């Protein structure tokens, strides 16, 4: 019998913000369901005039690659230099860099300026924005999404075990829904469950998985 201790689950790397270890463990994983749903909702893209999709906290590029494959132009960013260099090595991203169909850069959420776009995606990345910068980041996201455009991604809930970590942003269900007051929720799933780990790696997950379309006119009764 081997005495090698079992490898800790991948969420332990995310908890410590050990992004190279996280990307190692996630290598080969397909694009997230939320971004795939959002891309599908737009239907066929006019290849002569592709719309812009943004990937915030793109990591090693799994969602950005799917955006390119669906025919979109892409603007992607991440705070991790390691993530950006892995993303740039993906064949779809490598060739799109040569044709200028993707811009991908290392930058932090803090102080980020986001260009106008038809889709803004943030898969499992917004919880890592420090709480005192989240409101400015969300204002940027909301202002970037054009009417009829979509948001896809995750917000972590207040019952998640990581909600006690100082530099994380966790919102209640009510606070999360308020972000989307001027959106139509096309998919809103609340995951609120213990992990399957019964040892020290146990984690209670509380995650909102969201695909939402920005209204083309303000909702009745809303105050601007
Ligand atoms: C859990 S990973 C998700 C990566 C990818 N979106 C995915 O779905 O696999 C979180 C990502 O957020 C990025 N990140 C964390 N804090 C950040 C910050 N303050 N500014 C920019 N990116 C950040 C990390 O570098 C990492 O790539």
| pLDDT at res. 7 | 82
List the structure tokens of 135: 């409101």
- Residues pairing with 194 in the sheet: 204
pLDDT tens-place values along the chain, 224 residues long: 556 767 889 999 999 999 999 999 999 999 999 999 999 999 999 999 999 999 999 999 999 999 999 999 999 999 999 999 999 999 999 999 999 999 999 999 999 999 999 999 999 999 999 999 999 999 999 999 999 999 999 999 999 999 999 999 999 999 999 999 999 999 999 999 988 877 778 899 999 999 999 999 987 766 54
Q: Which of 191, 155, 147 is nearest to 175 (CA)?
A: 155
Q: What distance in angstroms lies between residue 174's CA and the mean position of ligand 1's atoms?
A: 24
Burial of residue 48 (number of CB atoms within 10 Å: 0-12, 13-18, 19+): exposed
Q: Residue 28 and residue 31: Cα distance in Å, rounded? A: 10
Structural contact between residues 14 and 22, judged by C-beta atoms closer than 8 angstroms: yes
Contact present, 104 and 61 (Cβ < 8 Å): yes
Distance, CA of 99 to CA of 196 (rounded, Å)? 44
Q: Hey, which of 16, 19, 33, 59 would you mutate to test ligand 1's pocket, going by the most ligand atoms within 8 Å of its Cβ?
A: 59
DSSP3 helix / strand / coil % (the chain, rounded to 5): 35, 25, 40
Give the distance (Å) from ligand 1 centre to CA of residue 214: 24
- Which CATH number is correct for 31-214, 3.40.225.10, 3.50.4.10, 3.40.50.150, 3.30.70.260? 3.40.50.150
DSSP type of residue 1: -
Using the atom order of ligand 1, give the atom closest to the CA of residue 130: 19
Task: For ligand 1, say whether the CB of 127 is within 6 Å of any of its atoms.
Answer: no
Ligand 1 pocket, residue 124 CB under 6 Å: yes
Provide the angle, in degrees to the nearest 10, between the axes of the packed helices 62-69 and 91-99: 60
Per the DSSP assignment, residues forming a β-bridge with 155 are: 208
State residue 1's pLDDT score: 52
* pLDDT at 210 (0 to 100): 98
Query: 199 vs 31, 132, 193, CA distance in Å?
Result: 29, 33, 16
> Is the C-beta atom of 156 inside 6 A of ligand 1?
no
Ligand 1 neighbourhood includes 66 CB (under 6 angstroms): no
């Amino acid at each position: 019998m081997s005495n090698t201790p079992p490898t800790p689950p991948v969420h332990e790397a995310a908890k410590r913000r050990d992004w190279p270890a996280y990307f190692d463990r996630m290598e080969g994983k397909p694009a997230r369901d939320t971004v795939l749903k959002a891309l599908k909702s737009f239907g066929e893209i006019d290849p002569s005039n592709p719309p812009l999709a943004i990937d915030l906290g793109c990591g090693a590029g799994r969602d950005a690659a799917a955006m390119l494959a669906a025919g979109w132009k892409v603007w992607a960013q991440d705070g991790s230099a390691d993530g950006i260099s892995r993303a740039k090595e993906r064949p779809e991203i490598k060739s799109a860099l040569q044709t200028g169909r993707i811009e991908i850069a290392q930058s932090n959420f803090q102080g980020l300026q986001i260009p106008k776009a038809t889709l803004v995606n943030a898969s499992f990345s917004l919880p890592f924005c420090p709480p005192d910068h989240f409101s400015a980041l969300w204002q940027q996201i909301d202002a970037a999404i054009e009417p009829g455009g979509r948001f896809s991604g995750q917000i972590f809930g207040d019952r998640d075990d990581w909600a006690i970590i100082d530099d994380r942003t966790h919102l209640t269900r009510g606070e999360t829904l308020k972000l989307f007051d001027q959106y139509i929720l096309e998919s809103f799933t609340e995951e609120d469950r213990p992990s399957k780990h019964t040892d020290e790696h146990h984690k209670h997950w509380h995650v909102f998985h969201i695909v939402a379309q920005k209204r083309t006119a303000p909702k009745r009764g809303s105050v601007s």
